[in-house]
Structure 1
Amino acid sequence: MHSTLLDELNQNGFVVIEDFLTPSEIDELYLAGRALCLDAPQENRKVFSTVNQKDAHSKETYFLDSGDKIRFFFEEGAFGENGELLVDPMMALNKVGHYLHVQHPIFNKLTFSNRVKEICWQLNFKKPAVCQSMYIYKNPGIGGEVISHQDSWFLHTEPNSVIGFWFALEDCTIQNGCLEVIKGSHKSGIHRLYKRNPDKEANELLIYDRPAPIYPQSSYTPLLVGKGTCIIIHGNVVHKSEQNRSQKSRHAYTFHVIETENNVKYSKDNWLQPTKDKPFPLLFERKN
């Protein structure tokens, strides 16, 4: 019996689709990512880290308000003690997010392409919307670790519906911090939530509702994929990536899709909230 995309996602929590992008698309996306480096701010630069949770983005509105803007987040290791840049500006960014899929023509073209719509159709989405997008640099040497997590910690719907699309724009190896997943972990529910702090007086704008779970390293499968590969990631599958210890970068483009049909509720506690005039853009609406 022919296994469908949905069967595979339900079984493993992820699907690897090789050669999803053509060589010219890879080049176009990669060059667009490089060009974004030149647009990065020269002062008041914000650091992004998943390891150091006392960092800027739990306290700052720059992150919280980035859902409908293109904003720039630097690597922790990019700066000296006095805020001076220690690395080439082309190597300093951790990521750019979270509205590339709308505001940037090259990322918009891929995100709303027929191939992406077809995958969401096969995954039985009724009214899928793209809620956020990111260009991830994973630069040589300073490309930071992304701690073990489930995407639904950050983008929670009831019932869960979040799916990640992750595109490798360079070959992914153990050395340069490939994605690593725990196969089947999406069947174990959601382990914690990252949410807006109900305490309006508190310093932290965003908080976790539970401590971080511990996942044994032996549970992970590294996804050693070539550039052009698309990885579909179930919202509840546990995944991570180690620091880039190589001399090669590991650029990727990623975005997240949620179901917006009436019986699916997007949590008001999520860090990312659509604005009245900018609802999450739909990929399609399935007519009965």
Structure 2
Amino acid sequence: MPASVCELEYLTQEQVDQFRRDGYLRLPAFLSPQETEALLTRSKQLIENFSLEDHPLTKFTTGEDNHVGDDYFLNSGDKIRYFLEEDAVTDGQLNRPKEKAVNKIGHGLHELDPDFRRVTLENETMKAVVRDLQFHRDPVALQSMVICKQPHIGGEVGEHNDSTFLYTDPPSALGFWIALEKCTPENGALSFLPGSHLTAPITKRFVRKPGGGTGFETLIPPEEAPPKPEGRYLLEACIPGDMVLIHGSILHKSEKNLSPHTRYAYTFHMIESPPYARYDEKNWLQPTPETPFPHILDKPNPTTVPIGA
């Protein structure tokens, strides 16, 4: 059944159409100020309470040749773990207080922490958005993160699409990105290449290497890939409580935080579950028998618009 004849619960038809056209959509004031402040306060409490005594000082890096891939990272799907900014560690030691050093907290916040679980898995408005989009039939949440974007050192995240890192066959990743603080051009707000999800195929995927660590596996050789989409990146400034929906194939990025202020955001991702899409053992993040990826909806959507649309 086309989305235009379905009864929408939260989104307008114009918003659904905009998401499908542009590949992303900002929903102003999705969380209340009280909900937003609770997540920000909890994020800072988690950082304050985490111990450095047995921490491997794992830095979060995004480069092609040095992307993080140690056991602390690979086994974080059902845990709450802390990853450091590249510039926060010198000669194996923190060069600043830990609350100014953490790049992100991940990847099981949505299941293990009551505040984040409430917003992610127990939020009826969130479920209404999922139903309205008709992007998935039976989505599951597979990772969640608080991204801190620390003052002056909060790292640049280069052009990418999320399905490269959360690959399914066919691609089905969908991001939910919630600003917990003001996001500006100065502190690393997100930028998007509108419409690129329609013309930029997933050409590689981020995988576990058989001998350990992580790397990229080519899906479409560069000589066979279509030309890179052209256009102008648009910056999406946000205020606390705004949520941005991010299609798994859209190209997006964020600049380094050059300001004296943090840019906290909470983000989580959904993918389609079997039999509608296949998530295999090559992916860096793996569910366990004790902690399978949790389903979002009480019952599957009867119809969806095709994933790549």
Query: How does the TM-score come out when normalised to structure 1?
Result: 0.91
| Separation in 2, partners of 1:5, 1:173 | 23
Report deviation, 1:9.
1.7
Q: 1:171 aligns with which of 168, 173, 182?
A: 182
Report deviation, 1:121.
0.7
Tell me the equivalent position of 1:42: 52
Q: 2:41 aligns with which of 17, 31, 36?
A: 31
User: In the alignment, is the contact (CA less than 8 A) between 2:179 and 2:241 conserved in 1?
Assistant: yes
| Separation in 1, partners of 2:189, 2:156 | 10
Q: Which amino acid aligns with 1:39?
A: N
Report deviation, 1:287.
6.9
| 2:200 pairs with 1:192 | no
Residues 20, 160 of structure 1: alpha-carbon distance in 2 compared, 3 angstrom cutoff = same
| Separation in 2, partners of 1:255, 1:230 | 11
| Separation in 1, partners of 2:45, 2:265 | 14
Report SS of the residue matched to 2:204: coil
Q: Which amino acid aligns with 1:90?
A: E
Tell me the equivalent position of 1:234: 247
| Separation in 2, partners of 1:245, 1:110 | 30
1:1-60 per-position Cα deviation (integer Å, ceiling 9, x unaligned): 9634432221000010001111111110000111111233314221111137425x23x1
| Separation in 1, partners of 2:229, 2:183 | 22
Tell me the equivalent position of 1:115: 125
Tell me the equivalent position of 1:63: 73
1:60-106 per-position Cα deviation (integer Å, ceiling 9, x unaligned): 1111111111111011111222x232222211100010000000000
Unaligned runs of 5+ in 1: none
Q: 1:222 aligns with which of 216, 235, 256?
A: 235
| Separation in 2, partners of 1:263, 1:217 | 31
| Separation in 1, partners of 2:163, 2:301 | 27
| Separation in 2, partners of 1:107, 1:141 | 27
Q: Which amino acid aligns with 1:228?
A: G
Q: 2:27 aligns with which of 11, 17, 26?
A: 17
How many corresponding residue pairs?
281
Residues 17, 240 of structure 1: alpha-carbon distance in 2 compared, 3 angstrom cutoff = same
User: In the alignment, is the contact (CA less than 8 A) between 1:41 and 1:72 conserved in 2?
Assistant: no
Residues 80, 287 of structure 1: alpha-carbon distance in 2 compared, 3 angstrom cutoff = closer
User: In the alignment, is the contact (CA less than 8 A) between 2:176 and 2:243 conserved in 1?
Assistant: yes
User: In the alignment, is the contact (CA less than 8 A) between 1:19 and 1:229 conserved in 2?
Assistant: yes
Report deviation, 1:217.
9.8
Unaligned runs of 5+ in 2: 5-11, 303-309
Report SS of the residue matched to 2:197: helix
| Separation in 1, partners of 2:28, 2:104 | 24
Q: 1:140 aligns with which of 126, 137, 151?
A: 151
Report SS of the residue matched to 1:247: coil
Residues 229, 287 of structure 1: alpha-carbon distance in 2 compared, 3 angstrom cutoff = closer
| Separation in 1, partners of 2:98, 2:213 | 29
Query: How does the TM-score come out when normalised to structure 2?
Result: 0.85
User: In the alignment, is the contact (CA less than 8 A) between 1:167 and 1:254 conserved in 2?
Assistant: yes
Report deviation, 1:267.
3.0
| Separation in 2, partners of 1:287, 1:181 | 28
Report SS of the residue matched to 1:94: strand
| Separation in 1, partners of 2:251, 2:301 | 33
Report deviation, 1:216.
8.8
Q: 2:63 aligns with which of 43, 48, 51?
A: 51
| Separation in 2, partners of 1:121, 1:264 | 18
Q: Which amino acid aligns with 1:29?
A: L
Q: 2:167 aligns with which of 156, 161, 182?
A: 156
User: In the alignment, is the contact (CA less than 8 A) between 1:92 and 1:139 conserved in 2?
Assistant: yes
